[in-house]
Every structure is written in structure tokens, then in C-alpha cells.
């Protein structure tokens, strides 16, 4: 009997290891506009394992943000199914963190008060909230700015505060929609380095949308290239650059140029590709 029990436990463990952290199965999404139906996704299949960092690039309107909204449960597919950690996403997905490109800090709250919001909504005790907020503030480099209001912060500091607020309740999956897009090049590199450090420490599953191929190669384990709508995956590119990575050094790695060439070729409209 004992051996049978061990076999069952072993089989269950293997099944848990095979289970994807997030998965889209044959997902289609069509929106209704004033001019008619707009098909954004068609039969999209996508899966990530626990702790995997996936970047998605593609032309504007190709469905990148739509995929994030489906995973977050903010929208529902027209066809197919969306799963997070083995469970279907049928409503707002409170088990994920979602960091958008828009500044969503509450202007009447200080940095520490903004970061605390998700824990307050979960009725966590004040002592624990204070300890976790203090720890996250240190991790994202905002010590000394705890009592500043958003209007008193630089763009990079606000992004750090938003990242800390997203991480504070320890979600296993992070969705990031061009979070560093509007920032200048130097600040973007600094925040990319901060994100890689945090990811290495916590190993969250990340789906990161960007228009920047260099950023995608720098951060991700894999990069998907989306076609124009209705979206198909043109390329699934594993990144052969070892970790840990230094953001200033990635473009000098021998594999970088080939990754960049393949991703750019896949992004380029078919009419402009050489015959």
C-alpha cells in the first residue's frame, strides 16, 4: 500500500511540474467597433512555465495588451480558454500583478501609503503591512522617499513605487505592459537592471510587452513576435544569453546580434522583406 501511495504522490508531483503557470488554448478575440467586427486574436496558443520570463513584441494593434487583459481577467476570449496556474480565468484574476505603462499612483497618498494599498484591501494587519512596505521600499531603492507624494517624485521613482505596489502582495505572475516605454534611455536601463535583480531574487513568472527588441532580449528567457491582427505567433525565440545579465553588457554578447536579426526580420512587414 505504501508503494502505491508513493507512486500516486510522484505522479501528482510530475503533473504539477508539467502544469503551465499561464496558458492560452486556441484563444480568439473579436471586438465590436462602430465600423463592425475587429478580429484581434485567432487561435492563439501560448504557455509559460513557473518562473519563466517571456517578452512579447509586435506591431501596434497586434493584440499584445489584449493578451495581458485576458490573463488578468479584465476581458474574456471570444473563443478558446485562458488558464492561470491550472485554473480557468473566468473573472478578475486577483492572483496576478499587473503593471501598466500608465501612472496609477494615488496622488493623495504618500509612497508608503500607495505601496500599502493591496495589503489594506486584503485586511492585512498594520504591523505586517509596515514591515513589508519597508522591505519593498528598500528593494526598489526608494529609501528616504517614503513620505513623499507622487507629485514630488521623478518619473523613475514613480515607476519604482508602482513596481513595489505590484510586488507587495507577492503575486506568482507579473503582467507588464510597456512599463518603461516613456522613459529616457538611461533611466530605462536603470529600471531594467532593477527588474532583473528583483526577478532573480523572487523568480516570478513574467509576461512583458514591449516595442523595444533590445529590451526584450535583455530581459527575457523567450521572445515572441506577434503578427499584425488577427494575431499569429511569427517567431518564438529562446534567448541564449546566460544569466545573471548586466543590462549594459547584453548587446555585446556574441548571441545578441543573431537574436536581434531574427527578431527584426520576423517583425518586418512581409512586403518589405527581401525576396
Residue 103: which pLDDT band, with cuts at 50, 70 and 90?
confident
Q: What's the DSSP call for residue 143?
A: T
- 106 and 224 share one domain: no
Q: Is residue 10 part of a domain?
A: no
Same domain, 106 and 241: no
Domain count along the chain: 2
Average pLDDT of the chain to the nearest whole number: 88
Using CA atoms, how far apart are residues 241 and 30, in angstroms rounded to an integer? Answer: 37
The last residue of one of the domains, among 170, 194, 225, is 170
100/162 Cα distance (integer angstroms): 9
- pTM, two decimals, is 0.87
Residues 117 and 163 both lie in one domain: yes
**pLDDT of residue 109 exceeding 60:** yes
Q: b/e map of 94-115 (b: 16 or more CB within 10 Å)?
A: eebbbbbbeeebeeeebbbbbb
More confident: 194 or 54: 54
Q: Are residues 229 and 263 in the same domain?
A: yes
d(CA 37, CA 60): 18
> What's the confidence (pLDDT) of residue 270?
55
Q: Are residues 160 and 101 in the same domain?
A: yes
What's the pLDDT score for residue 9? 40
Tell which wins on pLDDT, 160 or 19: 160
Domain containing 118 equals 97-170
Residue ending a domain, among 150, 170, 190, is: 170
In a domain, 13, yes or no: no
pLDDT of residue 17 exceeding 70, the answer is: no
Q: What is the mean pLDDT of residues 52-61?
A: 94
Do 230 and 242 reside in the same domain of the chain? yes
Residue 12 lies in a domain: no
pLDDT of residue 201: 87
Amino acid at each position: 500500500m505504501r508503494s502505491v501511495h508513493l507512486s500516486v504522490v510522484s505522479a501528482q508531483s510530475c503533473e504539477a511540474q508539467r502544469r503551465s503557470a499561464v496558458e492560452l488554448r486556441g484563444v480568439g478575440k473579436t471586438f465590436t467597433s462602430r465600423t463592425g467586427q475587429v478580429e484581434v486574436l485567432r487561435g492563439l496558443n501560448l504557455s509559460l512555465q513557473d518562473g519563466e520570463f517571456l517578452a512579447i513584441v509586435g506591431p501596434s494593434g497586434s493584440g499584445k495588451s489584449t493578451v495581458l487583459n485576458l490573463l488578468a481577467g479584465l476581458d474574456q476570449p471570444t473563443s478558446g480558454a485562458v488558464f492561470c496556474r491550472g485554473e480557468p480565468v473566468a473573472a478578475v484574476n486577483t492572483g496576478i500583478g499587473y503593471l501598466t505603462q500608465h501612472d496609477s499612483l494615488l496622488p493623495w497618498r504618500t509612497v508608503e501609503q500607495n505601496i500599502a494599498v493591496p495589503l489594506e484591501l486584503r485586511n492585512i494587519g498594520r504591523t505586517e503591512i509596515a514591515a513589508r512596505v519597508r522591505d519593498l521600499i528598500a528593494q526598489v531603492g526608494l529609501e528616504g522617499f517614503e513620505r513623499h507624494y507622487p507629485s514630488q517624485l521623478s518619473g523613475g521613482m514613480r515607476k519604482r513605487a508602482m513596481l513595489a505596489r505590484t510586488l507587495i502582495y507577492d503575486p506568482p505572475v507579473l503582467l507588464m505592459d510597456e512599463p518603461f516605454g516613456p522613459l529616457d534611455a538611461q533611466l530605462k536601463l536603470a529600471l531594467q537592471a532593477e527588474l532583473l535583480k528583483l526577478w532573480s531574487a523572487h523568480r516570478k513568472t513574467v509576461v512583458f510587452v514591449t516595442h523595444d527588441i533590445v529590451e526584450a532580449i535583455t530581459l527575457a528567457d523567450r521572445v515572441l513576435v506577434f503578427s499584425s491582427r488577427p494575431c499569429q505567433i511569427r517567431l518564438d525565440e529562446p534567448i541564449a544569453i546566460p544569466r545573471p545579465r548586466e543590462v549594459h553588457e547584453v548587446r555585446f554578447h556574441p548571441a545578441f546580434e543573431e537574436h536581434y536579426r531574427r527578431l527584426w526580420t520576423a517583425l518586418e512587414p512581409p512586403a518589405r522583406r527581401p525576396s
